[in-house]
Amino acid sequence: MKHVRILELLVVIFAVISLSYLYINLGERATSAKAIGSPTNLIVSTTTSLYDTGMLDVIRDVYLSKFNVRLDFIAAGTGQALEHARKGDADVVLVHAPSAENQFLSEGVVGVRKIIAYNFFAIVGPVDDPAKIKGMPAAEALKKIAETGSTWVSRGDNSGTNIKEKSLWEKAGIEQSLNPSGYPWYVESGTGMGLTLTITNELKGYTLADMGTYLKFKANGLIELEVLIENEKDLLNVYSVMAVNPEKNPNVKFDLAVRFIQWLVSDEGQKTIGDFGKDKYGVSLFRPAVELLRTNSDPAMAEMIRSYAFLRGSECPAEWRLGQEVLYQ
């Protein structure tokens, strides 16, 4: 009888301990859940050439799982993306037009600029290449297209790609270099990179494309256009990230924006960028720039980026760093 009572007592003690453990465990989970809570959001105004490739979807998923911050992307041309920053409609901008970036930095709209990646634009066109431009220098190719009256499709949206295109027309010496819309062969799509490629394909014309979007559309069988000119100095394409200046727009999430920039330039962020596209296309759609610029591992490429995308000898002159000097050490 005595043994039975001892057994009953042990059962009761075990039950109490089990319930206590369960209560503590559930309490810890509840506390953890409360600490995590709903994701905080960060609004990122970005160029369509980054968005259309799908790379930003990967970055969003990685960043959400790691930091519980949801990245909400607004895709537009670089000009419009920067205007979102001016209006305070975004916390961060991801763009690829150094001249436009310089303007908005000098106006104090944005700051903390970091170069994160690069690739090359390409001039793409029909397989039969009616203007016979394959392998020519980019500016000469545009001049040949104009001379032959071959169809050219421009984004016409003041995007980074459109700004690059205008610089090539200017170098080609075309009379209406900054806006050759008066020519019958010149078509403005007024759309993003993906739709511009689709329109160019339908019209059997030529266009300037970022390689990332081109490779995605080509691999998915959406276009038949071929790369005719690539990997040329004049076609360099450099991507930068900037935080919206809280002195101009006090409601922006500056601290979260800086943390996102810190992650993009970290080893993990750069690896995420560099790995994108390898599985599907066999190459990186965007090449990481941070380590290259820091170590000068490819002096020729690093100098090309500095020459094209640095502003007054720096990726971000000191007065535009908004107190984030650690990012430039």
DSSP assignment of 103-148: HHHHTTSEEEEEEEEEEEEEEEE-TT-TT--TTS-HHHHHHHHHHH
20: tokens are 């206590």
What is the pLDDT at residue 181? 67
CA dihedral 37, 38, 39, 42 (to 10 degrees): -120
Q: How much is the pLDDT for 179? A: 58
- Asked if residue 56 and residue 202 are part of one domain, the reply reads no
Q: How confident is the model at residue 315 (pLDDT cuts 50, 70, 90)?
A: very high
- Of 183, 206, 234, which residue sits at a domain end? 234
For 237-265, write each residue's pLDDT tens digit: 999 999 999 999 999 999 999 999 999 99
Q: What is the mean pLDDT of the chain?
A: 88
Contact 69, 256 (CB under 8 A): yes
197 and 294 inside one domain: no
Residues 221 and 263 in one domain: no
Angle between helices 267-275 and 254-264 (to 10 degrees): 60
**What per-residue confidence (pLDDT) applies to 49?**
84
Domain span holding position 164: 121-234
pLDDT over 70 at 81, yes or no? yes
Examine the domain organization and report whether 98 and 131 are in the same domain: no
- If asked whether residues 246 and 109 sit together in one domain, one would say yes
User: Is residue 219's pLDDT more than 70?
Assistant: yes
Closest CA to 133 of 233, 206, 224, 198: 206
We report the CATH number of the domain holding residue 193 as 3.40.190.10
Per cent of the chain over pLDDT 70 is 87
Query: Is there a single domain that holds both residue 91 and residue 145?
Result: no
Average pLDDT over every residue of 164-187: 80
133 and 275 share a domain?
no
Total number of domains in the chain: 2
Structural tokens at position 256: 């979260």
Does 110 fall in a domain? yes
Encode pLDDT of 33-74 as tens digits. 334 578 899 999 999 889 989 999 999 999 999 999 999 999
pLDDT tens digits for range 109-122: 999 999 999 999 99
DSSP 321: S
Confidence band for 173, pLDDT divided at 50, 70 and 90: confident
Residue among 220, 322, 233 nearest 280 (CA): 220
This prediction's pTM: 0.84
Q: Take residue 257 and report the two structure tokens written for it.
A: 């924006």
Say if residue 245 is in the same domain as residue 320: yes
Residue 293 has pLDDT above 60, yes or no: yes
Least confident range of 83-87, 179-183, 299-303:
179-183
